[in-house]
Amino acid sequence: MTSPNPLKKKLAARKLTSGLWITLESPTITEIAVTLGLDFVVIDAEHGHLDFKELLEHIRATRNSDTVPLVRIQEIEQGLIKRVLDLGAGGILVPQIHSADEVQRAVRFAKYPPWGQRGVGGERATHWGMGLKSDTMIANSETLVIPLMENVSAGKSIEQICDVPGVDAIQFGPADYSASAGSLGDWEGPGVAAQLLHIKDRIRARGIPCGMLCRDSTELLKRRDQGFQMLGLNSDTGLLIRGLQHALKTLTLPREPLPEPSTPRRDSSRDRAAHRLKTDRRSKR
């Protein structure tokens, strides 16, 4: 991050923030999110098929805006984190963490010395080397590191995870947490909802914001009222699928009867005679 991070500032001020999860290739999706004034986009590089070129185009679409591009990386790997941040991401989401040690490693790879061991490169993150000193100085304080709390092990270690310097927020993953709790395929398996809320309260008591990806408007309002501060409005594919499903369902509604067609008016013999007389007068002029 090469300038003050507006998302970090809003989270620190306990403001409600909203964003979109990106899984498809077209940077136009991110451009629309920017036009709508969303606070962030999460570009998902953990699942799916997005490559570095596509990540770059999504990040590029946020340039000169207050929409912060975050990348969900696939694993805690130094070279991967360095490249994603060099492309210009405002932060990373770190999946499948189990312990504070893993979070510490992610923070170390995301921060320049002396906070960490991120390598210095002449890429977009430093304005191609033209802002080498100023950009690297600001990056350590502005780059977001957000672990995903998505398994039972992380829930049990949440106090130690919250103690790691450099953690800016914690994102929840109900489906993965449910899978680790023995309910594979459920969004929130038996007892999971209560467990997640208990963990969320412990995190917020430490002054750390919590985030959640929502699937529809009902869940969005519920998570807002539960105190989640960083809300994913949905994913691009989720919105597309639900919109099409709604349209298809609309077509199954009973047909309304069409109005009976009106009977065309037939000319009477008097009408036909008047028409002939009018035509004759025009021809004599």
Residue 147 to residue 106: CA distance in whole angstroms: 9
CB count within 10 Å of CB 207 equals 9
Q: What six digits make up the tokens of 175?
A: 């489906």
Q: Is 98 among the residues known to form the active site?
A: no
Residue 198 to residue 192: CA distance in whole angstroms: 10
Q: What six digits make up the tokens of 46?
A: 């953990």
Q: Cis omega (within 30 of 0) on the bond before 114? A: yes
Residue of 47, 98, 127, 246 marked catalytic: 47
Residues labelled as active-site residues? 47
